[in-house]
C-alpha cells in the first residue's frame, strides 16, 4: 500500500484526534476555537511532546479565569511543554504512596499519633508522623 507523500509520518490521524480532544476542553472553556497559526504550532508541539502539551492544557484550564485557550497557546509558544512538570504538592503525598514509588516524603502535616501539626512531618504508610513519633511509623 502506498502512503501519500503529502502526509508527514509523525502526524498520524491518531495524534491529530488526541490533539483535538486536548484542545477541545480549552476551546469549550474559552468559548472559541483555537485558530491558526497557533493551532498548527500547538499541534507540532504535541507531536513532539504529547505529555508536556497535555500538562500545559491541564494547568492552563486551572490557572486561567477568562481565557485558558489563550494562556495555553501562549505557554506552548514559550516552550512550557518542554519543561518537566512540578513535583506534586506535599498535601497530595498520597499519590506518591504507591509500592513502585515509595520514598521518604516530608512536609506539613498532623501527626497520626498525637495529632500535633508539624512543619517537618514524615509521610509514611499513608499517615503523617511528627519527629517524636516517626520511629513508630511502620
List contacts with Zn ion (CB under 5 A): 111, 113-114, 130, 132-133
| Least distance CB 112 / Zn ion (angstroms) | 7
Nearer to Zn ion, 75 or 106 (CB): 106
Contact 41, 73 (CB under 8 A): yes
Copy the grid coordinates of residue 37: 497559526
| Least distance CB 102 / Zn ion (angstroms) | 21
For the chain, the maximum distance between any two Cα atoms, rounded to a whole number of angstroms, is 70
| Least distance CB 111 / Zn ion (angstroms) | 3
Q: In b/e form, how buried is each residue of 83-112, taking b as 16+ CB within 10 angstroms?
A: eeeeeeeeeebeeeeeeeeeeebbbebebb
Nearer to Zn ion, 62 or 115 (CB): 115
Nearer to Zn ion, 49 or 128 (CB): 128
Nearer to Zn ion, 106 or 133 (CB): 133
| Least distance CB 116 / Zn ion (angstroms) | 5
Query: Between the CA atoms of 66, 71, 73 and 74, what dihedral angle is there, to the nearest 10 degrees?
Result: 140
Burial class (CB in 10 A: 0-12, 13-18, 19+), 69: buried
- Nearest residue to Zn ion, scored by beta-carbon proximity: 111
| Least distance CB 65 / Zn ion (angstroms) | 40
SS3 of 62, please?
helix
Nearer to Zn ion, 77 or 114 (CB): 114
Amino acid at each position: 500500500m502506498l502512503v501519500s507523500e503529502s502526509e508527514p509520518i509523525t502526524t498520524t490521524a491518531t495524534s491529530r484526534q488526541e490533539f483535538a480532544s486536548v484542545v477541545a476542553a480549552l476551546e469549550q472553556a474559552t468559548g472559541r476555537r483555537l485558530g491558526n497559526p497557533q493551532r498548527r504550532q500547538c499541534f507540532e508541539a504535541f507531536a513532539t511532546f504529547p505529555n508536556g502539551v497535555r500538562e500545559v492544557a491541564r494547568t492552563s484550564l486551572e490557572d486561567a479565569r477568562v481565557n485558558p485557550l489563550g494562556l495555553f497557546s501562549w505557554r506552548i509558544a514559550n516552550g512550557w511543554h518542554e519543561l518537566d512538570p512540578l513535583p506534586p504538592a506535599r498535601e497530595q503525598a498520597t499519590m506518591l504512596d504507591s509500592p513502585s514509588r515509595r520514598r521518604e516524603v516530608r512536609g506539613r502535616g498532623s501527626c497520626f499519633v498525637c495529632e500535633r501539626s508539624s512543619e517537618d512531618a514524615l509521610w509514611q504508610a499513608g499517615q503523617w508522623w511528627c519527629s517524636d513519633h516517626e520511629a513508630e511509623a511502620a
